[in-house]
């Protein structure tokens, strides 16, 4: 980031009501990998789809076994300077809210108050039958009680908060069911092939409608559910600023693009914008 980058970024956002749209790149400095960053793009990944999860008991078994191992590591992740700066921009600066594509709850932990979790949060689990919710941490206790001895350490966390697990051990993994109705449980996140709930999208549109500028942080914008907000902002001729390492699908709409680390650029911008 050059001084000029920072000056242009601050000029674009100053005296505006700013909505911040964040993606996986905002959390990589907390130790959670992204999908399409330079390091992760090389690794082949096949995220589970909603259809697989619902139709195939083996897919659910594989998901929960990997999640049982990955969850403790995801839960340990702490907000990084980018999350802290975004919370500061809301408390003392121009930010009116955050739309996040992340499922890690780190914006809340950093103190952001107006947060739309577009793709839900891994911290909660929902019954596909009766809709009852359960905290993911409570479920972790049940996962262990049902699968004594299933203690594998996650050396590599995957972007979905799961982890690589020996395929042979998965076959004997017992999947917990809903405590209320015995139905199947699903993490309360939007899987590939699933739509974002209408009330969540409405809250996000409401923020965009009230915004005077949009700041994108750490997202390739490859996923349409995030990209559409950039398109709407551009249609409304709102200034769009992007802070991302590498190219994004929204670059052509950006008034200012800073190619840099979110954890460096955001604190520097917040220092000026929150004066």
Report the interface residues with ligand NAD, using CB under 6 A: 23-25, 27-29, 32, 34-38, 101-104, 119, 159, 218-223, 226, 244-246, 261-263
CB atoms under 10 Å from CB of 11, counted, come to 14
Residue closer to ligand NAD by CB (options 103, 178) is 103
The Cα angle at residue 159 between residues 247 and 104, in degrees rounded to 5: 100
Which is nearest to 256 in space by CA: 225, 217, 224, 227?
217
Smallest separation, CB 110 to ligand NAD (Å)? 13
**107 flagged as catalytic:** no
Q: Which of 83, 107, 108, 119 is catalytic?
A: 119
Smallest separation, CB 24 to ligand NAD (Å)? 3
H helices present in 111-245, as ranges? 136-146, 167-170, 198-210, 224-235
H helices present in 56-135, as ranges? 57-76, 81-92, 106-110
Smallest separation, CB 31 to ligand NAD (Å)? 10
Smallest separation, CB 23 to ligand NAD (Å)? 3
Task: Give dist(CA 167, CA 80) in Å, integer.
Answer: 33
Residue closer to ligand NAD by CB (options 36, 73) is 36
Tokens of 158: 């995957």
Residue closer to ligand NAD by CB (options 141, 247) is 247
Tokens of 59: 């897919």
**CB-nearest residue to ligand NAD:** 25
Residue closer to ligand NAD by CB (options 12, 100) is 100
The residues annotated with a catalytic role in the active site are 119
């Amino acid at each position: 980031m050059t001084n000029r980058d920072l000056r242009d970024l601050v000029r674009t956002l100053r005296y505006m009501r700013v909505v911040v749209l964040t993606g996986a790149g905002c959390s990589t400095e907390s130790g959670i990998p992204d999908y399409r960053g330079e390091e992760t793009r090389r690794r082949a990944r096949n995220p589970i789809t909603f259809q697989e999860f619902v139709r195939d008991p083996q897919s659910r078994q594989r998901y929960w076994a990997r999640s049982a191992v990955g969850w403790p590591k995801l839960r340990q992740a702490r907000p990084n300077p980018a999350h802290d700066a975004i919370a500061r921009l809301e408390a003392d600066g121009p930010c009116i809210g955050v739309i996040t594509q992340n499922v890690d709850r780190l914006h809340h932990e950093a103190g952001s108050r107006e947060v739309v979790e577009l793709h839900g949060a891994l911290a909660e689990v929902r019954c596909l039958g009766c809709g009852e919710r359960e905290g993911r941490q409570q479920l972790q206790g049940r996962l262990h009680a049902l699968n004594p001895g299933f203690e594998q350490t996650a050396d590599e966390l995957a972007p979905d908060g799961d982890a690589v697990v020996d395929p042979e051990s998965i076959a004997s993994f017992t999947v917990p069911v809903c405590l209320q109705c015995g139905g199947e449980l699903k993490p309360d996140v939007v899987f590939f092939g699933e739509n974002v709930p209408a009330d969540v999208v409405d809250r996000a549109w409401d923020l965009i409608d009230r915004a005077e500028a949009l700041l994108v942080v750490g997202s390739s914008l490859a996923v349409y559910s995030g990209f559409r907000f950039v398109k709407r902002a551009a249609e409304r001729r709102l200034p769009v600023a992007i802070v991302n390492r590498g190219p994004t699908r929204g670059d052509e709409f950006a008034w200012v693009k800073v190619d840099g680390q979110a954890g460096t650029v955001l604190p520097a911008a917040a220092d000026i914008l929150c004066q």
